[in-house]
C-alpha cells in the first residue's frame, strides 16, 4: 500500500471497491503504517549509504549489519500489514 493511497483516502478520496468507509480507526492505521513506511525508507537509505561507504573504504562497518537486521524486521512488518489491509479492503 503506498503512502499516496493513504494520503488520498485520509483527505476524503473515494476508491471504487473499498468495502470500508474511512473512520478514526482507519485514519489511525494509515498514520501508524505511514510512519513505519517512512522509517523503512530512511533505513533503506542509511543501509545503502553505509554500504556504499564500505565499498569506498574497503572495510566492513558494524552499523551496516545492525541496520540491515532492523530494516529486515520492520520492512516485513510494514509489508505484511499493508497486504492484510489490502485483503480486508478489496478481497473479503
pLDDT (tens place) for every residue of the chain, 92 residues total: 566 766 676 666 666 655 556 678 877 888 888 889 889 999 999 999 999 999 999 998 999 999 999 999 999 998 898 888 878 877 77
Buried b (16+ CB within 10 A) or exposed e, 2-29: eeeebeebeeeeeeeeeeeebeeebeee
**pTM greater than 0.75 (yes/no):** no
- In this structure, what C-alpha cell is assigned to residue 87? 485483503
Q: Could you say which DSSP state residue 61 is in?
A: -
Residue of 24, 33, 25 lying closest to 6 (CA atoms): 33
Q: CA nearest 12: which of 33, 37, 30, 32?
A: 30
Amino acid at each position: 500500500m503506498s503512502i499516496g493511497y493513504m494520503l488520498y483516502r485520509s483527505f476524503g478520496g473515494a476508491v471504487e471497491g473499498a468495502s470500508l468507509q474511512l473512520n478514526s480507526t482507519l485514519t489511525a492505521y494509515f498514520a501508524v503504517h505511514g510512519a513505519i513506511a517512512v522509517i523503512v525508507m530512511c533505513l533503506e537509505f542509511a543501509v545503502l549509504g553505509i554500504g556504499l561507504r564500505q565499498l569506498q573504504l574497503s572495510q566492513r562497518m558494524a552499523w551496516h549489519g545492525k541496520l540491515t537486521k532492523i530494516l529486515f524486521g520492520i520492512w516485513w512488518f510494514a509489508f505484511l500489514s499493508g497486504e492484510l489491509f489490502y485483503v480486508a479492503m478489496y478481497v473479503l
